[in-house]
Amino acid sequence: MRDVAIVGVGITKFGERWEHGLKELMAEAGLMALQDAKMESKEIEMVYGGTMAPGKFIGQEHVAALLADQLGLQNTPAVRIENACASGGSALRQGYIAVASGIHDVVVVGGVEKMTDVNASEATTALGGAGDQEWELFQGITFPGLYALIAKRHMKEFGTTEEQMAAVSVKNHDNAYRNKYAQFHRKLSIEDVMRSKMVADPLKVLDCSPISDGAAAVVLVPLDKAKKYNDLPIRIIGSGQASDSLSLAERDSLTELKATKIAAQNAYKQAGINAEDVDIAEVHDCFSIAEILAMEDLGFYKKGEAAKAIAAGETALNSKLSVNTSGGLKGCGHPVGATGVKQAVEITWQLRGEAGERQVNGAEIGMAHNVGGSGATAVVHLFKRAD
């Protein structure tokens, strides 16, 4: 199996992009990635596009061919990857496998979602498809409701407080304030989060990631060819993916995501490292409680200890472990198909030393953690600067 490197990255601004359609967002991120790699489009051999529900959001299916078309690659094979909110991370893993296997030498991985062209009710229904339609959605529960159940159980078992969950949003908005591509450039206080409207007890509006538009893209090549395209290639040193039951009722526990634990263990094993070796992580904070679970399931903290650590500032910028320097899903935004690819873009910038005001000093190893649904899919990638 060949070593794989990222040699180009691109991203659009995330947010309510009324002035741009799906095509424009895809083209903007893809062309930026190709320019970053100093690469001509004719060199690309394969395209993978992550997107969750374009048919419901804008009535557009067959997105992979559209993505290739927007990049001027009309005859290049392209495949759409749908894995709920883990669509982007899953597309990245497929691109990684394609290059590592030797089937392709140059692969573009994109992620995109255009979510704001429908009303909130329609968006909620579309996103609800990431859960168990028969046992959860049909019974009336929404995704905030599912994660509220997780939060309530975590509070009962470990004494986690609403203020500690609020600290996740405060930290991530503080990081997003430094990111020009982020949806929100407003700092928050614990009081702001606590006073915001209740969505599903105990989760409030400011505990929840927003509805967003946006796209991101990366270019993958074999490591031994990477310097042809970029003087600072970033090597993918580990890749893991796992699944769990779609419905919460079938899970062994409400306070852990087993798919995250298994995916992380497999990625660590491949990379030959442990959690303590990671300097920077982009984790899936679709709700504030989700980041707390991620920090525990990824092995950074023992179960029940992450909430206190986050509230104490241990995961703030340039602290013990810098988490969600982009602003995460909460502050940067969450165009669901793009999120997993955006995470890889942020880690690439950080490891290159190109993250500007939010740069982590001396970062050498990074992680991207992308979750689909309430934890039925998890994808973990590990990255390191190439020697």
User: Could you give the angle at which helices 288-297 and 143-158 cross, rounded to 10 degrees?
Assistant: 60
Q: One of 85, 208, 286, 332 is an active-site residue; which one?
A: 85
Q: Is 316 left (phi over 0), alpha (psi -120 to 50) or beta?
A: beta
Sign of the CA dihedral with 307 first, then 202, 189, and 353 last: positive
The C-alpha atoms of residue 75 and residue 85 are separated, in whole angstroms, by 28
| Burial class for 298, CB neighbours closer than 10 Å (0-12, 13-18, 19+) | buried
Q: One of 104, 334, 369, 381 is an active-site residue; which one?
A: 334
Q: Among 302, 356, 292, 297, which Cα is nearest to 323's?
A: 292
For residues 343 and 281, the answer to whether their CB atoms sit within 8 Å is no
Active site annotation includes 286:
no
For residues 319 and 277, the answer to whether their CB atoms sit within 8 Å is no
The C-alpha atoms of residue 14 and residue 184 are separated, in whole angstroms, by 9
Using alpha carbons, list the distances in angstroms from residue 242 to 26, 95, 260.
Answer: 28, 17, 7
| Burial class for 135, CB neighbours closer than 10 Å (0-12, 13-18, 19+) | middle
Active site annotation includes 332:
no
Give the DSSP H/E element, type plus range, for residue 154: helix 143-158
For residues 322 and 284, the answer to whether their CB atoms sit within 8 Å is no
**Which residues does 216 contact at the CB level (< 8 Å), separation at least 6?**
9, 10, 11, 12, 29, 88, 110, 111, 112, 338, 341, 342, 344, 345
Supply 279's token pair. 């300097």
Count Cβ atoms below 10 Å from residue 159 Cβ, excluding itself: 11
List the end-to-end C-alpha distance of the chain, in Å, as a whole number: 18
Sign of the CA dihedral with 283 first, then 310, 279, and 358 last: positive
Q: Catalytic site residues?
A: 85, 334
